[in-house]
Chains A and B, each alone.
Chain A
Amino acid sequence: SQTIHQWPATLVQPVGSPLSLECTVEGTSNPNLYWYRQAAGRGLQLLFYSVGIGQISSEVPQNLSASRPQDRQFILSSKKLLLSDSGFYLCAWSQSSGANVLTFGAGSRLTVL
C-alpha cells in the first residue's frame, strides 16, 4: 500500500533562517506531488506541484522553492524565512493517471519568530 511521510512535524525558526521540509511517498511510482500551506484560520493555498522529476510548477510567487530530486521525494525550501511563512504545510500525492485523488501527509507546523 502507498504511504506518505512528511517531516519534521513541528519546527520553530527565527526570521531569516533557512527552511527545508521533506516529503516522501512509498508504494507507487511517478506520482504527482503537491505542497500546500494553510495559515492560521485560513484555507489551503497550493504552493507547488510536480508531475515528474525536475518538473516544478509554482502557483504563488514567494520566497519559497520546491525541488523533486527523486521520483518520490519532494522538498520545500526557503533561504530566508519571513514571519508570514508561518503556517501548516501539507504535502500530498496523487496517481499520475486516473482519478485525481489526493492523499495528504500529516503536515508540518512551522512557526517563524
Chain B
Amino acid sequence: DAKTTQPPSMDCAEGRAANLPCNHSTISGNEYVYWYRQIHSQGPQYIIHGLKNNETNEMASLIITEDRKSSTLILPHATLRDTAVYYCIVPNDYKLSFGAGTTVTVRA
C-alpha cells in the first residue's frame, strides 16, 4: 500500500490560505488520495478526495501533481476553527490507515 509523508506541523494566519503538502510517491494508478482532519477530542472528519484531477468542495481544494506523486490540500481562508490535525491517506482496499498527519495551528 502506498505510504504518505506529511510535515509534522505548520502555522497559518487567520484569513490566509493554508497549503498542506503530502508526498505519496509509491501511489499506483488507480489509488485515490483522501484527506481527513481531526479536531481535538473528536472523530476525524472527511474533507475531500481525488484521483488525478484537481477537486474542490465547500471545505477545501485538492491539487494533485501530474505524476500523482504528491498533492496539496488548500484551505482557502483559514479560520481559528480549522485548527486540527490533517491526514493525507491512500487507502489499501478497505483499510484507511491514519499516520501522524500535520498539526495545523491557525493564529489570529
Residues of A within 8 A of B (CB): 32, 34, 36, 43-44, 46, 49, 51, 59, 88, 90, 92, 94, 99-107
Contacts and interface: CB of A to CB of B under 8 A. Distances in A.
11 contacts: A43-B100, A44-B38, A44-B44, A46-B97, A100-B32, A100-B34, A100-B91, A100-B96, A102-B44, A102-B46, A107-B42
Interface residues of B, number: 20
Interface of B: 32, 34, 36, 38, 41-46, 49, 91, 94-101
Given A99-B49, A100-B34, A101-B49, A107 B43 contact: yes
A106 B43 contact: yes
Contacts of A100: 32, 34, 49, 91, 94, 96
Contacts of A46: 95-98
B99 A43 contact: yes
Contact of A104 (B34, B43, B49, B100): B43
Given A34-B96, A105-B43, 10 more contacts: A49-B94, A49-B95, A59-B95, A90-B44, A100-B32, A100-B49, A100-B94, A100-B96, A101-B34, A103-B46
Contacts of A59: 95
Q: Is the interface of A mostly helix, strand, loop or mixed?
A: strand
A100 B90 CA distance: 10
Contacts of A44: 38, 44, 98
B49 to A, nearest CB: 6
Contacts of B44: 44, 90, 102, 104
